[in-house]
Amino acid sequence: MAAANSASRIDLDSLRRAIQSVEPAALLIEPRILRRVIKQDRRLAGLGLQVPHRKTYTIQRDRLLVIADRGELALAPGDDLPRKVILLAHPTDGDYLEDAPAPDVLHAYWRLLFHARIHLAGEQRIAAGEWSDSEIRRRIEAIGTVAFAEIRQVLDKDDMLLPPSDDREAYLEFLAIYLELRYFAPKDLTHFFPAIRDWAAVDRLVSGDVEHERLHRESRLPGAAMLSPGARVLLEDDARRTSSADAITGRVLAAPSLFLRLAARAQRAGAIGNGVKALILRARALRVAPSDRAEEMEEAASAELERLVARLGETLDLPTELCTRWAAALKPLVRHAAEDRWSSEARLLYDLQKACVEHERGVYRIDIWGWLRSKCRNPLRKPLPLLRQVLITKHLRTSARRISNLRVDAPSRESLTRLIEDAFDRMEDRMRTDLRPLIAGVLDQEGLVPTTVAERVARRKIIEELLDRIVERGFVNMGDLRDALSMNNLKMPDLSGIEETLVGDQLLRSDRRLARDLEGVYRPGAIYLRVPQSLSSLAFGTPVGRFLTQFVVLPFGGAFLALSGLAHVVEGLVHVGTGIVLEGDGQLSAAVVESAAAEAARWAAAPISAGPLVFPAILQAALATESHEPSHHAWSWSFVVQVAALGTLMLPLIHRPDFRQRFVLALLRLFRLAHTLLIEWPTRIVRSPIVQRILQSQVYRVVHGYAIRPLAFSLIGLIPQMLDPDPWDWTYALNVFLGINLFLNSPIGRYADERFTDLMVRAWHELRMRVIAAVLQWIVDVFHQVLEAVERVLYIVDEWLRFRQGDPRPFLAVKAAFSPIWSAVRYVIRIYVTLLIEPQVNPIKHFPVVTVSHKILLPYSLILTRVFAAPIQPFLGTFLANAFAGATVLLLPGVFGFLVWELKENWRLYAANRSVHLKPSRIGHHGETMIRFLRPGFHSGTIPKLFRQLRKACRDAGETGEWNRVRRHKASLHHVEESLQRFFFREFCVLLEESGTLGIGTITLGDMRLATNRVEVALRAVPPPGAPAATGDAARGSDAALCLDFEYREGWLVASVHRRGWLDQLDPVERPVVEGALQGLYKISAVDLVLDRIELVFAGKAVTWELGEKAIVAYADRSRTAPIEIPLHRAKLRFLPQREEPQSDHWPANGSEPLIFSDAPIPWNRWVHFWDSEKRAAPSRSPIVAQGADRS
């Protein structure tokens, strides 16, 4: 690496000579010229700011010389070019290659040249007619249809796919990228194309297409490095580990006085039990130690590390062998921790020490009021053993999250990762084992007892989700309990009477009991949570309240809010005759403004004590001023009629699914009609052969270059004259047109145009990638950092105020005195964060409720500010009181977002409000369903977004050698994988376990694989203890896993059984049980189509088919002629041939079974009956597992 860094730079001429010495057909040109060539050769529309495949390109010589002249290509007059030319873009300003050593630059262009020569070889095969449509189709089938769909998605997102973007072009680009990665970054292959299952098969396939080994060997530039900077970093990790595995820290110049100060501080830190600080200080002292004291200090540092490992061994109950491995794994961290006390290495060591402190000293609280109420009989100090265990787990989790940022070699990182994750898993299992029965006992005592199999599964899931939150955050609260009950199928009954209304429903009672039984771990609900829950229980948990909510509040109240919100958001378009009337420009009427201003001025002069009493008078005066206008009153009749009409329409939309479906279909038809008229028909006209021949003709190019384009620029220049009311000077306009025409079509004009476009490309890149993204990210980061900082401060203060064994008595007194004050301050802070701030920065809660609330409250901001400032002005002064009150008023609309969100979740708490059908479940930490995990979009596509970020991080790491971002994105994918594993286990494996009908054993999770457009999960059968060993086919079937695929295809979520595994070993009684569980799993996963069901339709028929966005296209023969389209609309299965129908024996008969799985809902009562009855009939009539062999 050092040699590479000291190597000299390389200029463009030397680079050009090096490239042409290997490939005379390769030209090194400016990026702007390469973009122009690609744009004109591929006839790309637009300005060309986003040109695909912008680093390399292959083109015919004659076509190239038409687009660019020899001077632009750096060709001498006598230079000759081969028939086919390779174009490479040279480094630009800001490119990492501009300042890279010569071997690295040559390595990068070796890679680009190899990619281009693969393209050239593939194009030669296309020109020879060897890659026909059938041959390309055969290659796609060999790779896999879903894998090739992922390939197209990756190429499209990475701007690597050139027009016409057909299967042939996609395969050629995949061939070039695959071979490029195979030779230059083989570890990145699985990150770029994770859906490919059999890489050996792909390698055999591409080996028959091009002689890639020869091309790789012959493309190497003289002097090129064999490895990229990123690959060298990975390779040198082992060397660094071998040379420094036993070193505590590096040595620098001796400084005796600093050495003595550091040694004394280390001694004091060790004496009070801060072993990590003592270790870091001794390591720092060793760096500046005199030669005669170095060995002594190194032994002291090693002893300090051994003491830390011994404390970890006692905390985590580690055997001696593991303690030795821990010491070896932690030793490489000490050096970096000594260099920077705030480094990730130092923070990780402190996290481990915190876990030891929690174990050694414990946690307790001082219960003064309980001690006084018991007349000093109860102990004043109450231990919190559950909190101690939770905090140990939390510290281990925090340390595990720091591993990706450690500056250590890969083997050391992997070793430490295994040790910390193993310790974390053990402590998590122990914590879950201790807390699980306590939570279950509270639910039992408060009547949340399951009565059916489905409810037993739901309750187990509720308990595990609460434990998940404890593991993630170190505590759980009433909001988590409410969300767990709301999102699962164990619901609360209606309120039993007045007594339960006063005492609280099961949620509120469980909240109080959990706060007692899980003291320190469970945080009881604050008043702003308990009051909305009590009030909503009357509206949602009683028949009368539900009737009013469903038939009055929701339809007519929603209509009122919708119309009022529309009037405030779109001012001037909707006139609402309320007591506060909008003028034609959407502003408040002048009378209201003047009255409010007068009253505000009068109030400013009034005494402070009169403030709260004056506020109603202000509103009354303002409204009274309006009431004097005879044309308006509180609600105009037109507004009442609008609310009544919209509310009447909303009634059947809410309560009649058939009417709602027809209404939505009508809206969709209107949208499709508008789309057809405005988009599809114009697009078809433009893409028609006649129009395309015109657009590609020489005549059109001349007209475009000398008339259309100059005219467009001329119109821009004539805007000032257009705005001038005086008559036009046509001579001036003609001169402008001719001058612009002459300039644009001159060599200097073309150069200026391309330079301007080049500047636009760079400016857009900077604006999009840095300015806009940076500003948006900065805004989001600021709010999140503020919230995290608040939480961090609250946690630090709470941590400091926790009572631990061994605290000095004065320290205990300070904590006991300050704790009540801090409790009040923390309560106010949490109110502001939860009610006011969090709904403002959370986009899910912000739109549209908070937005509309801002608009409604804006006219009263001044008045509200004075009202809120009045009570605190004597304590804070005028300026601070107004500032505090103004900020509160600004954030006040967040309360409405909070309440709407809370009420929405509260509705689903009660069994009477349960959906009549199985609904998709939330899986991810941000509420993603399976389809939202896989479908690309603004608020969805978590998995493809993470893979795209991972690909970019891999490219950057290969250039710079910085692999931290790669590790972070891989960790994010691992978190998604954990969420999916929990979902499959809790919804499928637990369901089969609770059914108690499978003799094959317990179903557990096996391996899981994520791809850009697919989730694969393996389900294994573990035989019960003492079961006889299976033999023959039964043994092979029981050992193999049942593998399920969830694939995103053409806008549909498609599920299938990839490998049958133990499914064939089930008896006739067990098979319907598993099929029923699969049907339920597909339903809660939001599956649209079941591949096995489609294959059952074509079973035994000589038919091939493929899935499209709107239809299944089926073919009767391999030639793929005479296709039949089966529309995938939301209706029954009907075969509507677009062309003449083939022989009838090739096709199944028309039927009425829904082809779209999501069109066949599973009612909740049928689902419950299926699992509770002894003789089970599938909850859905159609089978979903096809017979036959496994899929490849």
pLDDT given for residue 412 in this prediction: 87
CB distance 287 to 336 below 8 Å:
no
Burial class of residue 585 in the structure, from the number of CB atoms within 10 Å of its CB (0-12 exposed, 13-18 middle, 19+ buried): exposed
C-alpha–C-alpha distance, residues 712 and 197, integer Å: 52
Q: What is the pLDDT of residues 887-944, one digit of tens each?
A: 888 888 888 888 887 788 899 999 999 999 999 999 988 788 999 999 987 667 899 9
For every residue of 631-668, which 3-state class applies, written as one string?
CCCCECHHHHHHHHHHHHHHHHHHHCHHHHHHHHHHHH
Higher-scoring residue by pLDDT: 1043, 567: 1043
Q: How far apart are CA 58 and CA 88, in angstroms?
A: 9
Domain boundaries, the chain: 2-226, 248-427, 803-907, 915-1091+1166-1174
DSSP assignment of 839-853, as one string?
HHH-HHHIIIIIHHH
Q: What are residue 251's phi and psi, to 5 degrees?
A: -100, 140
Q: pLDDT for 278-318, tens place per residue?
A: 999 999 998 888 888 888 898 999 999 999 999 999 999 99
Q: Is the pLDDT of residue 844 over 70?
A: no
The pLDDT value given to residue 154: 94
> Locate tokens 């939770």: which residue?
390
Global pTM reads 0.82
CA dihedral sign, ordered 188, 192, 195, 198: negative
Give just the sign of the alpha carbon dihedral 465, 466, 471, 476.
positive
Strand partners, 1009: 1016
Neighbours of 664 (CB within 10 A): 12
Contact predicate 118/179, CB 8 Å: yes
What pLDDT shows up at residue 335? 86
Query: Interior CA angle at 405 toward 404 and 408, to 5°?
Result: 90
Confidence at residue 892, expressed as pLDDT on a 0 to 100 scale:
86
Strands 522-523, 476-477: parallel, antiparallel or unpaired by DSSP?
Answer: parallel
In terms of Cβ atoms closer than 10 Å to its own Cβ (0-12, 13-18, 19+), residue 871 is: middle
Cα gap 1161→1163, rounded to integer Å: 6
Q: What pLDDT does residue 744 have? A: 81
Q: What's the alpha-carbon Rg for the chain, to the nearest Å? A: 36
**556 has pLDDT over 80:** yes
CA geometry: angle at 656 spanning 652 and 661, to 5°? 100
How confident is residue 508, by pLDDT bands cut at 50, 70 and 90? very high
Helix (H/G/I), strand (E/B), else coil: 254: coil
Determine whether 252 is exposed, middle or buried from the number of CB atoms within 10 Å of its CB (0-12, 13-18, 19+): exposed
CA dist., res. 577 & res. 640, Å (int):
9
Alpha carbons within 13 angstroms on the beta-carbon side of residue 725 total 0
The predicted pLDDT at position 803 comes to 60
- The better pLDDT of the pair 854, 216 is held by 216
DSSP 26-95: EEEE-HHHHHHHHHHHTT--S--SS-SS-SEEEEEHHHHHHHS-TTTTT--TT----SEEEEEEPP-TT-
pLDDT for 847 equals 63
- Residue 392: pLDDT band (50, 70, 90) is very high
Reported as a pLDDT band with limits 50, 70 and 90, residue 586 is very low
What's the pLDDT score for residue 305? Answer: 94
Of 391-405, 575-589, 1015-1029, the poorest mean pLDDT is in 575-589
pLDDT in tens, 861-876: 888 888 888 888 888 8
Q: What is the C-alpha separation between 594 and 587, in angstroms, rounded?
A: 13
Residue percentage of the chain with pLDDT more than 90: 38
Q: pLDDT band for position 626 (50/70/90)?
A: very low
Helix (H, G, I), strand (E, B) or coil at 195: coil
- Share the mean pLDDT of the chain: 81
Per-residue tokens: 1070: 């067990």
Q: In which region does residue 1148 sit, left (phi positive, over 0), alpha (psi from -120 to 50) or beta (all else)?
A: beta
Amino acid identity for residue 318 in this structure = L
Band (pLDDT 50/70/90 cuts) for residue 244 is very low
CB atoms within 10 A of CB 590: 10
620 or 33, which is more confident: 33
Q: Which of 80-89, 218-227, 1097-1106 has the weakest average pLDDT? A: 1097-1106
Output the DSSP codes for 486-546: HTSS--BPPP-SHHHHHH--HHHHHHHHHHHHTBTTEEPPPHHHHHHHHHHHHHHSSHHHH
Q: How many helices (H) and strands (E) does the chain have?
A: 55, 15
Q: Which of 227, 237, 275, 6 is CA-nearest to residue 107?
A: 227
Which two tokens mark 231? 């690959």
Distance of alpha carbon 952 from alpha carbon 334, whole angstroms: 32
pLDDT of residue 70: 86
Instruction: Look at 636-640, 712-716, 1175-1179 and tell me which has the smallest mean pLDDT.
Output: 1175-1179
Residue 1 CB coordination number (10 Å): 12
Shortest CA distance to 1016 belongs to which of 1106, 932, 930, 1109? Answer: 930
In 3D space, the residue among 1025, 983, 1027 whose CA is nearest the CA of residue 1005 turns out to be 983
Is the predicted pLDDT of residue 606 greater than 70, yes or no?
A: no
Q: Are the C-beta atoms of 97 and 229 separated by less than 8 Å?
A: no
Contact 87, 41 (CB under 8 A): no
pLDDT surpasses 70 at 92? yes
- pLDDT value at position 6? 41
| Cβ 930 vs Cβ 1085: under 8 Å | yes
User: What pLDDT was estimated at residue 623?
Assistant: 40
Residues with Cβ within 8 Å of residue 982, at least 6 apart in sequence: 464, 468
Average pLDDT of the residues in 1107-1114:
83
Residue 464's CB: how many other CB atoms inside 10 A? Answer: 17
pLDDT over 70 at 685, yes or no: yes
How many Å is the maximal CA-CA distance in the chain?
A: 108
CA distance 990 to 40: 60
Q: What is the pLDDT of residues 404-459, one digit of tens each?
A: 888 888 888 899 999 999 999 999 999 999 999 999 999 999 999 999 999 999 99
- The answer for 629, left when phi > 0, alpha when psi is -120 to 50, beta otherwise, is beta
Higher pLDDT, 372 or 1119: 372
The span from the CA of 470 to the CA of 915, in Å, is: 29
Residues in contact with 201: Cβ distance below 8 Å, sequence separation at least 6, in sequence order: 142, 143
Task: Give buried/exposed letters for 1100-1122 (b at 16+ CB in 10 A, else e).
Answer: eeebbbebbeebbbbbbeeeeee
Its sign, for the CA torsion 241, 243, 246, 251, is negative
pLDDT-based confidence at residue 4 (cuts at 50, 70, 90): very low
